[in-house]
Amino acid sequence: MDSYAPEELLACVIARLLDGARHAAVGASSPIPAAGCFLRKSVDPAFRVSLQQRRESNPFTEGSRELFDLAGQGRIDVFFLGGAQIDGEGAINLVRAEGRRFPGSFGSAYMYGVVPRTILFREEHSRRTLVPKVEFVSARGTPAALLTGKALFSWQADKRRFRLESVHRGHTVQDIGENTGFNYDVSPACAETLRPSADELQAIRNKVRPEIAANYPEFAARVWSGK
């Protein structure tokens, strides 16, 4: 389908990256990863989603300590991390950049190390955010993928280097190169990111939307107003 919001495309990409996972945890203020997780759950009811957002959606009665315990026991398959900066070695910066301070690392270094699949996510795709080397290393690990508002990268563990896998509609491989601060490889099969199907959009708007609206009402109103 040609009519969809950029956020809906990103949610679809995330849902596809969750194939085979049993349980994903999503940090606070992460509506797009949450939408992707609920989209995955719409086709796999056994898939578990744990949100650290509002109290009614947060299953952790003991706060983040319980989240860390579950991760340490191998009971969380996927986690999402972002940062003010992300570099080509998979490091993230949640502390300071360009003279500005941010909330801090909290448990990101721990989660990056113990969760089998860490998906790096940053909607902004620019040389300001995707840098050759982060100013401060909050966490470094082995990412499963890097998803931005313009493209999807896989991680090559043997090279410790990203590879461009697909480019979202409206962008080009050249555009990605001009707006990425670190070096990366390009897949021979690199093409446009698979667009949302009619079934995926129906699920997002009918099943996922109520879940997101309950926890991220401003986001839901902005993305799905009039739909």
Domain extents for the chain? 6-224
Q: Model pTM greater than 0.95?
A: no
Q: What is the DSSP string of 69-121?
A: HHHHTT---EEEE--SEEETTSEEE-SEETTEE-S--TTHHHHHHHSSEEEEE
Helix ranges (H only) for the chain are 6-17, 31-43, 64-72, 108-114, 173-178, 198-203, 209-215, 217-224
Structure tokens at 21: 């996972």
Q: In whole angstroms, give the CA distance from residue 38 to residue 200.
A: 11
The 8 Å CB, 24+ separation contacts for 159-164 are 159/185, 160/89, 160/90, 161/88, 161/185, 162/88, 162/90, 163/187, 164/190
Contact, 220 vs 212, CB < 8 A?
yes
pLDDT of residue 215: 87
pLDDT of residue 63: 62
Q: In whole angstroms, give the CA distance from residue 91 to residue 146.
A: 11
SS3 21: coil
pLDDT of residue 56: 54
Domain spanning 6-224, CATH architecture: 3-Layer(aba) Sandwich (3.40)
Q: In whole angstroms, give the CA distance from residue 45 to residue 80.
A: 20
In whole numbers, what is the pLDDT of the chain averaged over residues? Answer: 91
**pLDDT per residue rounded down to tens, the chain (227 residues):** 579 999 999 999 999 999 999 999 998 789 999 999 999 999 999 999 988 765 555 566 666 777 888 888 989 999 999 999 999 999 999 987 777 776 666 788 999 999 999 999 999 999 999 999 999 999 999 999 999 999 999 999 999 999 999 999 999 999 999 999 999 999 999 999 999 999 999 999 999 999 999 889 999 999 998 76
Measured between alpha carbons, how far is residue 86 from residues 36, 82, 138, 162, 181 in Å? 21, 7, 10, 11, 9
Contact, 85 vs 92, CB < 8 A?
yes
Give me the sheet containing 91-93, strands edge to edge. Answer: 130-131, 85-87, 91-93, 139-140
pLDDT of residue 69: 85
